[in-house]
Amino acid sequence: MAKRGYGARAFGGVVLEVISWSQARALGLKRYFTGKPCKHGHVAERQVSSLTCLGCLAPKRKAWNCANPEKMAQYKRRHAETAAGREVNRKASARVRAANPGKATEWARANPGKARASKAGWKARNPDAVARDAADRNLRRVQATPPWADRLAIRAIYEKAAEVERATGALHEVDHAIPLRHPRVCGLHIPRNLRVITAAENSAKNNKLIPSLAIDFSAPGWAHLHEPQAEAA
Ligand SMILES: [Zn+2]
């Protein structure tokens, strides 16, 4: 069965099912679709309550939204207070992100303060996902630690990050030069693949493989699992 059009999904390639006004009303739907153009030529859904074509309504709505910013902000807040509303927002932003690759990273780089606040807000709202992510990362670290790894040296690097952070007051993190999670490579959790960098540098890198490292197999972090002498060097 074709998905029944509802709302702006009509613009997302959803096949709209033809449904008469009376059928839609009987089903309690807010919109119906005849498949026939309105007098302005839009082949779009119409509102059950007013029989108005959504294509005709869109510019009027946009004008009203622009003229009433406080009311719009209030609607948006109320919408985001419900789980269903947040799900709608999540899907909409995923669509926008998919249509504009790289744009989100660009925005985050241009607005570091806002990006940090947004991330912190998301973390506060999604404690389960944060815990899951931490457990995943921990597991990846364990899996990427060869038996011969110098655990004391690894710990010292993490202690150094904390020390630099105390001394400078800027957030520092331990980064894997060659990422542990990447489609093409798997870095190791060993001292030679670890470096202390600022949290800002780390979030800008965001798991990307540095191009020079991608081809430089002599870079720190490349080592065979069964090569203890490489680690001792
Ligand atoms: Zn129309």
CA of 201 to the centre of ligand 1 (A): 50
The residue among 117 and 223 whose pLDDT is bigger is: 117
Residue 55 CA to ligand 1 centre (angstroms): 4
What is the widest separation between alpha-carbon atoms in the chain?
A: 79
- How confident is the model over 135-164, as pLDDT tens digits? 998 999 998 999 999 999 999 999 999 999
- Compute, in angstroms, the gap from residue 51 CA to the centroid of ligand 1: 10
pLDDT digits (tens, 9 = 90+) for 159-203: 999 999 999 888 888 988 888 877 777 788 999 889 898 887 887
Which range, of 6-10, 60-64, 71-75, averages the lowest pLDDT? Answer: 6-10
pLDDT score for 186: 79
Helices marked H in 68-150 = 69-80, 83-99, 103-110, 112-125, 127-143
Give the residues across from 19 on adjacent strands.
33
Tell me the CA–centroid distance for residue 57 and ligand 1, in Å. 7
Predicted pLDDT of residue 182: 76
Alpha carbons 195 and 163: distance in angstroms, whole number:
13
Residue ranges per domain, the chain?
Answer: 8-65, 69-122, 126-222
Q: Which helix (H) or strand (E) holds 172?
A: strand 172-176
Using an 8 Å Cβ cutoff, are 172 and 158 in contact? no
Beta bridge partners of 29: none
Which one-letter amino acid corresponds to residue 152? L
How far apart (Å, rounded) are the C-alpha atoms in residues 162 and 2? 56
Q: How far apart are CA 158 and CA 147, in angstroms?
A: 19
Nearest CA to 153 out of 108, 185, 188, 205 is that of 188
